[in-house]
Structure 1
Amino acid sequence: MREGSAVITDLASFAQVLRQHRRAARLTLEQLADASGVSVRTLSDMERGRSKGPQHRTVTALADALSLGEADREQFIGLARDGRLRDHWARPTGLGELPRSVDDFTGRAAELAWMDDFVHAGDVPGAAGVALVTGAAGLGKTTFAVRAAHVLRSAFSGEVFFVDLFGMSAQPLAADDVLAHVLRALGTAERQIPRDALERASLYRAILRERRMLVVLDNARSEEQVRLLLPGGGPSRVLVTSRRLLAGLEGVQRLSLGPLPSGEAAELLTGILAKRGSADGAAAIGELAQLCGGLPLALRIVGNRLVSRPGWSADELASRLADEERRLGQLRAGDLEVANAFGMSYEQLVVSARRVFRRLALVPGHDFDAALAAVVAGVSIAQAWDALAELVDLGLLHDNASGRYRFHDLVRLFARERLHAEEPAADREASAETMTSWLLRMAVAAGRWFEPAYGGPGRPDADLAELSSSEEAERWLRADADNWLGALRQAAGEGRHALVLECAESMHWFSDRWMYWPSWEEVFTLGVRAAEALGDAAQHATQLNYLAWVHLVPPMDLQGVLRLATQALDLATRSGSRAQIAWAHQYAGTALRHLGRLGEAADSLTMAAQMFHTDSDMDAYVQSLNALGDILVADGRHEAALEQFQQVLSQLDDKDSGMSPDIASFTRSQTLARIGHCLSLLGRPAEAIGMLNEAAALLEKFHAFSSQARALETLAGILAGEGRGEESRHTYARAAEVFDMIGEGDAAARCRDQAAAQG
């Protein structure tokens, strides 16, 4: 607040605040009029309380002219907004009159059908007859409620009453005041309205029990505010809207509004833009709808801006909105503003929850859990749970059954804006660095679970989330992939090469479990660059070999594999890294087999197998043996291939083989599939069916979906040949599902065609 200004309480009126700020600035009405562009007469009306809620642009012009600080400015604008709402409520248009419904209302068909069922459901003894519609700011709860009330008005003989509870205002309406207002609207004489709130509620419920009416209570702040306003049975219905979940209300039917689907969002925008009289391209409208995230308020603002500016094109506005730094600023039209809508919810938060909300804007991924929220906000896990619950309650975050949280895209931008406005750069950078370090250390700890001879977590960093099994580690790596990958990018950009290299190195064996994740190439490319920057030739070769593996994942780039393996072999030879020399031969041999160069492939893979065996790396050795078996299959030597795979299986089942148990189990699933395929080629269908069924189940357990899909396709073909058409059809259909999941559309289509043929 400016030095020398009067202390202004939250309960002051807009007129009082304006007058006090003008006097503190030592301005006459004429001087303020000159500075703001607002007429003297208008200013006089405001200060005398005749104009309680001037328009947003007028208020901001006055705030600028008065040089108000941030806190004073927020209060000033908020009082004007409340005044506009109260002025609208108090207009002489009939007590509790339902606002008009917008002509271009679009979508919400399922929700309107839900409301119809609610209204026309038979009376149930003891039921409250209350519907609660909740949702975040900007989702159109009021618009929906008004639309539903207009559509269903005939079911109540026109007796529909609307009350704005001003739940987001600094001065929400008290329940007893609302009761008095509604009782007047229902025709109760002033002298018959009881003074006591409970007596008013009793009279209100009695009237609702005798008449069939719909009461819309819009913008509720709390359970306490609406509890006395709920009916006690009878034919009447009450519809409550709120940004909060109001979880304490019992016996109510709940409807949660979400963003509009992309088609409905584009349809709404198209309807608004029809008033322009000019054709806007469907592509530009679709892009605008996407940038608005299906938020009706944002769509309305975008549409209104274009309608009010005929010279603008939808393409031009889409281009402006594409810039995240400017998007929220562009989503403003007159007194409609997306940031203001979010700001009203933000102001309801306690200080600690505001801090958590702001800091969550730093999270790089699409969603997060409470552990990451605690790290980035610098609070305990218990404090994080409390803050997240409050954010979900107000619609500033969405949660799901798996304990993950996410922002709406526009809310994330608002959180980022608040972070930059309210926290110093040093604090933001420190928080981001802490989060980046934590995510990468978590990724390394999780990735280590899949390494050969891993003995468990040992004594991990005390601040890391606990991972007590490989299953938990895999769940974390998958769920937080966007987050630790974002942290890896951040660390690479900051030149933290050792941290980047450690993370990439820890992913080697885990990547086999999730080979179709599209970001492995980026992970290992960053690893290559980090090793090169550190001048570590052995690690440089290692990361090049990992990158060669990525190029073997369908759709394969076999020439790329050979190029990378050659580079890795050269670096490994110069650095004396026998393990990486062997892996370079392994990947080159696999690529050569796919290219049909079987002799060269056998030479490379034999070299790899010999080196792995000499170095007692049994985990890698059996991979080479299986790859040599694949060459025998490709060469038509099916009996020899079967014998090779059976020898591998014996070694995998030998507890004294020296293999890591997890890798042995994973490799076993792959080997069983190979044996099943060989048995099929050798005309032994009964044995092949049993082997492939076992293999497919294990491969699914290990998320080896590519191998699983191929095993299922082979199995389905054998079943068809045995005349087991229904089993074959089902298996082909399952194979198609898995191929679709990993993005192999041609293979999926092939399997669906085969399934149809069996049907």
Structure 2
Amino acid sequence: MLRRHRHAARLTLEKLAEASGVSARTLSDMERGRSKGPQHRTVTALADALGLTDADRKQLVELAREGRLRDHWDRPTGLCELPRSVDDFTGRAAGLAWISELLGAENASVVLITGSAGLGKTTLAVRAAHTLRPDFPKGVLFLDLFGMSPQPLAVDDALGMLLRALGTAEQQIPRDVAGRASLYRSLLRDRHVLIVLDNAASEEQVRPLLPGGGAGKALVTSRRLLAGLEGVRRLGLGSLPLLEATELLTGILKDRSTSDDGSAVSQLAQMCGGLPLALRIAGNRLVSRPGWNAADLAARMTNEERRLDQLSAGDLKIASAFGLSYEQLADAPRRVFRRLALVPGRNFDAALAAVVGGTSIEGAWDALDELVDLGLLQDSTSGRYRFHDLVRLFARDRLQQEEPAADRDAFTEAMTSWLLRMATTAGRWFEPGYGDPGHAGPDTTGLSSPEEADHWLRVNADNWLGALRHGASIGRYAAVLDCAESMDWFSDRWMHAPHWYEVFTLGAEAAAALGDPARQAVLLNMLAWVHLLPRDDPETTLRYTAQATELATRGGATAQVALALHHAGGALRRLGRLDEAIASETRAAEIHKKNGDIDRYCHSLGALGTCLRDAGHHARALEQYLDLLALLDDDRSGATPSVAAVIRPIALARVGECLGLLGDRAEAITKLTEAISLMEQVQLPVPQARSLETLAAMLAEEERTGESRHAYARAAEVYQAVGDAEASTRCHELANAAP
């Protein structure tokens, strides 16, 4: 009928397509009988373009309607039906809205959901598909591609199943993949159909199953990133936040007769790591055992060695889900994966992965890429990687099952040695003169500047601290002592890090085990510093300085005697025993000067000035600080430039404080402002925050209210950054106080 009307109008397919807005391919399918039930709007558009009479228009519309009815009743039922959506679906609101907007508003043809095992990719896709049903009147189809199976669904089989579900008769399905893919795309072009392709194995498998444009859309899930797919919109899933994880678990448990304590449910959710599959398993276990409560299961899961075993309910096993991804790996990335469970910290880089995995850095990169691609590791823009907590337990289990105990010990030993060597070398970068011409510098660590060393020590703190603990536990006392001792000057830069007490205690114990009283005194002096500054416990500082003095005297280490006097002077000053503090700092300065240790001498001079200031001798203190600045500025003094760069802004700030106390606030403000700028340059946040607070008070006294508030606000920020919440709150309140 359509062909007859077109010929009567003397129109080619292309001319009719242009006039009606219906594609030439669709017109061809209609005329050849492949499309026997076109949509009403398509038929009316053709009738208008052909200029049909009322009778001819009615006849054409009726034929199309009859074709649609035949198509409806002839279409196979039950093929590629969408699974049901779970009633207790929780969270993922932003992701669900994003998918619905993209696919429902025709902004995208394909959306890809990726993520590791157990994150609920399929559940989210099914939920989104049910939500989108009204936008796809020609149907929503679901096909599991068995991507984690040893034999994923073949492309030709997948196309055959989808074509049958779309109503194609068996005899009309081409035999070759290219023909099937072409027919499949043509069917989707004008049909508002959503195809859900679950658990895709690879780009090669899924690419022929994607619509080529037009009305049909696809929603794909995969554990792999499928980075080779072009023109798709991507949604990477992460773990549920604790609040949503607890809400999901609570929803699963809502019909239980047993009352579950809210804190126990929250604890369970936390131990499941926000993984929806783990939460589902934990909830199902409790639902199927009315005699249990959440606290019982939480108690069982507290033991990490047994946690994966507890996350099993019928055919749902969290370890099995991880195992499917693990089985996809080649031998090399498998080996790296399980050995990474030995890393003591929460994250690591490729260099550490190479050491643990016993491979080259290039081999580590390849393995890490494969592990990230399968969702077994998570990466970040900083080049660091981490496990999900449950995946780490799975890796540890694989390590114990597949590697002999002797090999595990060897890997741990290699990693520990490497981390201690790296940390020791990094710490040495901050010793006076390290890295200067003629001074031995690093050779094999790859650290070539103090900035690189600082960054490495901070981001790897959990790892080298774990190595320090392990080294101490197996008697590697020399390496432990070297590492702890190397942190002396670096600890000044990271004063409020929480681990210095443990680091220096392990070092002191190692020195004692080695029978080295002089080096034990070194570490005891470091512990005295910890209690003097970060911990603000001067009484304990004095106990450590007494022990250090006794050991240093026995070992003939006059430098450590002087250092103990210096720390004792600081503690005595804080206790208000100012005459004793002045005497102690004076004696320390004399010994350092006699020993030719100008750097320590400068430290003692600065501390002596502070004692004089606190004792009310403001003019003498100012003179002391000015003399110190002159010494630091003298190229012939022998002060190490890097040390002088740290002491100078602190001394300049003290000059400002003394000028303020002597009544010259204008000059004091100038000196403090200059000192604060220098402190920011050399990264001295703690003295910077204190100087900002002092500056703010002086500005307030000068009635420079706006500048004062700004300085208080900046001080609050810096205090917050170093973890001093009390000081941050105090400065924040002063910054916002009413005039």
Give the deviation of 1:334 after TM superposition: 0.5
- Correspondence for 1:391 among 360, 371, 382: 371
- Correspondence for 2:90 among 100, 106, 130: 106
1:327-349 per-position Cα deviation (integer Å, ceiling 9, x unaligned): 11111110101111111000111
Match status 1:336 vs 2:316: yes
Match status 1:606 vs 2:586: yes
1:189-221 per-position Cα deviation (integer Å, ceiling 9, x unaligned): 222222221222222222222022211111011
- Correspondence for 2:113 among 128, 133, 136: 133
Residue 114 to residue 204, structure 1, CA distance change in 2 (3 Å): same
Match status 1:412 vs 2:392: yes
Give the deviation of 1:725 after TM superposition: 3.4
> Where does 1:133-172 land on structure 2 (aligned, <5 Å)?
133-157=113-137, 159-172=139-152
Q: Which residue is 2:419 aligned to?
A: 439
Give the deviation of 1:741 after TM superposition: 2.4
1:346 alignment partner AA: Y
Unaligned runs of 5+ residues in structure 1 are 1-91
Name the TM-score, length of structure 1 as normaliser: 0.85
Residue 236 to residue 719, structure 1, CA distance change in 2 (3 Å): farther
Q: Which residue is 1:326 aligned to?
A: 306
- Correspondence for 2:262 among 263, 266, 282: 282
1:732 alignment partner AA: Y
1:702-756 per-position Cα deviation (integer Å, ceiling 9, x unaligned): 3322112111222222333444434333332221122122222221111111111
Q: Which residue is 2:723 aligned to?
A: 743
> Where does 1:489-508 land on structure 2 (aligned, <5 Å)?
489-508=469-488
Secondary structure of the residue that 1:636 maps to in structure 2?
coil
Q: Which residue is 2:678 aligned to?
A: 698
Give the deviation of 1:638 after TM superposition: 2.4
> Where does 1:47-196 land on structure 2 (aligned, <5 Å)?
94-123=78-107, 129-157=109-137, 159-196=139-176
Give the deviation of 1:359 after TM superposition: 0.8
1:139-177 per-position Cα deviation (integer Å, ceiling 9, x unaligned): 110011111111222222372111111000011012222
Give the deviation of 1:276 after TM superposition: 1.4
Give the deviation of 1:642 after TM superposition: 2.1
1:97 alignment partner AA: E
2:395 alignment partner AA: A
Residue 431 to residue 551, structure 1, CA distance change in 2 (3 Å): same
Q: Which residue is 1:560 aligned to?
A: 540
**Is contact 2:679–2:688 with CA below 8 Å preserved after alignment?**
yes
Secondary structure of the residue that 2:195 maps to in structure 1?
strand
- Correspondence for 1:448 among 421, 428, 445: 428
**CA–CA distance in structure 2, aligned partners of residues 293 and 727 of structure 1:** 46
Match status 1:653 vs 2:627: no
- Correspondence for 1:253 among 204, 217, 233: 233
1:643 alignment partner AA: E
**Is contact 1:598–1:635 with CA below 8 Å preserved after alignment?**
yes
2:101 alignment partner AA: D
The alignment covers a number of residue pairs equal to 663
**Is contact 1:201–1:229 with CA below 8 Å preserved after alignment?**
yes
- Correspondence for 2:644 among 664, 667, 674: 664
Q: Which residue is 1:52 aligned to?
A: none
**CA–CA distance in structure 1, aligned partners of residues 104 and 328 of structure 2:** 36
Give the deviation of 1:456 after TM superposition: 5.2
**Is contact 2:582–2:611 with CA below 8 Å preserved after alignment?**
yes
- Correspondence for 2:573 among 573, 593, 597: 593
Secondary structure of the residue that 2:113 maps to in structure 1?
strand
1:350-391 per-position Cα deviation (integer Å, ceiling 9, x unaligned): 110100101111111111111111011111101011100100
Residue 150 to residue 559, structure 1, CA distance change in 2 (3 Å): same
1:49-68 per-position Cα deviation (integer Å, ceiling 9, x unaligned): xxxxxxxxxxxxxxxxxxxx
**CA–CA distance in structure 2, aligned partners of residues 679 and 262 of structure 1:** 53
Q: Which residue is 1:363 aligned to?
A: 343
**CA–CA distance in structure 1, aligned partners of residues 613 and 135 of structure 2:** 74
Give the deviation of 1:234 after TM superposition: 1.8
**Is contact 2:77–2:165 with CA below 8 Å preserved after alignment?**
no
**Is contact 1:720–1:758 with CA below 8 Å preserved after alignment?**
no
Match status 1:730 vs 2:714: no
Match status 1:296 vs 2:276: yes
**Is contact 1:136–1:394 with CA below 8 Å preserved after alignment?**
yes
Q: Which residue is 1:754 aligned to?
A: 734
> Where does 1:484-633 land on structure 2 (aligned, <5 Å)?
484-633=464-613
Secondary structure of the residue that 2:737 maps to in structure 1?
helix
**486-495 or 177-186, larger mean C-alpha shift:** 177-186
**CA–CA distance in structure 1, aligned partners of residues 710 and 224 of structure 2:** 46
**CA–CA distance in structure 1, aligned partners of residues 389 and 699 of structure 2:** 49
Residue 460 to residue 177, structure 1, CA distance change in 2 (3 Å): farther
Q: Percent identity?
A: 63
**CA–CA distance in structure 2, aligned partners of residues 729 and 213 of structure 1:** 61
**Is contact 2:645–2:682 with CA below 8 Å preserved after alignment?**
no
**CA–CA distance in structure 2, aligned partners of residues 270 and 494 of structure 1:** 45
**636-645 or 397-406, larger mean C-alpha shift:** 636-645
Q: Which residue is 1:220 aligned to?
A: 200
**477-486 or 725-734, larger mean C-alpha shift:** 725-734
**Is contact 1:328–1:338 with CA below 8 Å preserved after alignment?**
yes
**CA–CA distance in structure 2, aligned partners of residues 205 and 597 of structure 1:** 88
> Over alpha carbons, which structure has the higher Rg?
2
**CA–CA distance in structure 2, aligned partners of residues 714 and 295 of structure 1:** 49
**CA–CA distance in structure 2, aligned partners of residues 385 and 536 of structure 1:** 43
**CA–CA distance in structure 2, aligned partners of residues 122 and 725 of structure 1:** 56
> Which of structure 1's runs of 4+ aligned residues deviate more than 4 A?
456-462
Secondary structure of the residue that 1:275 maps to in structure 2?
coil
Secondary structure of the residue that 1:217 maps to in structure 2?
strand
Residue 209 to residue 716, structure 1, CA distance change in 2 (3 Å): farther
**510-519 or 714-723, larger mean C-alpha shift:** 714-723
Q: Which residue is 1:475 aligned to?
A: 455
Give the deviation of 1:667 after TM superposition: 1.3
**CA–CA distance in structure 1, aligned partners of residues 469 and 597 of structure 2:** 32
Match status 1:269 vs 2:226: no
